[in-house]
């Protein structure tokens, strides 16, 4: 049985992934933005071991999430799931781009890392010149390209870790909306499979999956010069160097 941390697991795909893993007998640690949402998360996934609270749009709170996770001990897998869509650019940058960077750097390296991207990353631009502006012009699509760049950089730099990204499809969660056409169950199954499965096809790194199938991705995510520039900007913004 594996020990898995899932960010943003009070609702949506994070909560469903947590329930599914807990039902399979895995040890699951939830994460929510504050103590009220943490209580809600624990009610929804009573089989979870613990809930960590922390607002991922805030750098200091995100660092504390990592410290609290480390205090709980080693994880086998971390699913970087939390995300925002229709929010101000600063929040999109903070939650979707910077928080997964901070947590990847500070949480004791698990064996498997899963990053939630989106097919919308295909329209994204690295937009790195807008990174540290007070009023950044970062779109959701840009942020989902960033998290894919992070995933590919992690896969390249940490050969002892399986780091993969997932497009869950357009599914009916709070973010996706009631009319979303894709299959909700398939929307979280790829993440849980990558987190715990012994299938050889789940023990790979540097891949981008949709419904357990590898998909082609924006080639800019694999550009190592861009990746290194991205990591360096994240370091400048957070004062946390990427552990090589």
Ligand X SMILES: NC(=O)c1ccc[n+]([C@@H]2O[C@H](COP(=O)([O-])OP(=O)(O)OC[C@H]3O[C@@H](n4cnc5c(N)ncnc54)[C@H](OP(=O)(O)O)[C@@H]3O)[C@@H](O)[C@H]2O)c1
- What DSSP line would sit under 174-199, residue for residue? TTT-TT--S-HHHHHHHHHHHHH---
Of residues 101, 144, 188, 217, which has the active-site annotation? 144
Q: Answer whether 54's CB lies under 8 Å from 65's CB.
A: yes
Report the distance separating Cα 154 and Cα 109, nearest Å: 11
Pairing of strands 77-80, 162-167: unpaired
Q: State yes or no: residue 142 binds ligand X (CB under 6 A).
A: no
- Stretch in the footprint of ligand X (CB under 6 A) among 154-162, 163-171, 201-209, 236-244: 163-171
- The reply to whether 157 belongs to the active site is no
Binding to ligand X in span 78-137, by CB under 6 A: 81-84, 95, 116, 118
- Number of residues forming the site for ligand X (CB under 6 A): 26
Q: Lay out the site mask for ligand X across 35-54 (x = CB under 6 A, - = otherwise).
A: --x-----------------
Q: Please count the CA atoms within 13 angstroms of the CA of 6 that sit on its side-chain side.
A: 34
Interior/surface letters 70-86, b for 16+ CB within 10 angstroms, e for the rest: eeeeebbbbbbbbbbbe
Of the two residues 181 and 200, which places its CB atom closer to ligand X in the complex? 181
Binding site for ligand X (CB under 6 A): 8, 10-14, 33, 37, 55-57, 81-84, 95, 116, 118, 168, 170-171, 173-176, 180
Which residues are known catalytic residues? 140, 144
């Amino acid at each position: 049985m594996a020990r898995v941390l899932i960010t943003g697991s009070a609702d949506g795909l994070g909560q469903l992934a947590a329930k599914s893993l807990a039902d399979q007998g895995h040890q699951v640690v939830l994460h929510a933005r504050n103590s009220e949402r943490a209580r809600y998360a624990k009610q929804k996934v009573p089989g979870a071991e613990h809930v960590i609270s922390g607002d991922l749009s805030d750098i200091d709170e995100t660092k504390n999430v990592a410290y609290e996770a480390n205090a709980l001990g080693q994880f086998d897998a971390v699913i970087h799931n939390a995300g925002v869509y229709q929010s101000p650019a600063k929040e999109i940058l903070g939650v979707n781009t910077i928080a997964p960077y901070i947590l990847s750097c500070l949480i004791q390296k698990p064996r498997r890392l899963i990053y939630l991207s989106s097919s919308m990353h295909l329209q994204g631009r690295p937009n790195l010149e807008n990174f540290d502006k007070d009023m950044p012009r970062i779109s959701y699509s840009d942020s989902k390209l960033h998290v894919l760049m992070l995933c590919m950089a992690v896969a390249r730099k940490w050969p002892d870790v399986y780091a993969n990204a997932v497009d869950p499809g357009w599914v009916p969660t709070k973010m996706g909306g009631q009319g979303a056409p894709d299959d909700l169950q398939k929307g979280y199954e790829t993440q849980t499979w990558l987190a715990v499965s012994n299938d050889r096809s789940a023990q790979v790194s540097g891949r981008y999956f949709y419904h357990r199938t590898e998909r082609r991705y924006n080639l800019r995510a694999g550009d190592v010069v861009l990746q290194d520039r991205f990591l360096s900007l994240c370091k400048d913004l957070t004062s946390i160097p990427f552990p090589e």
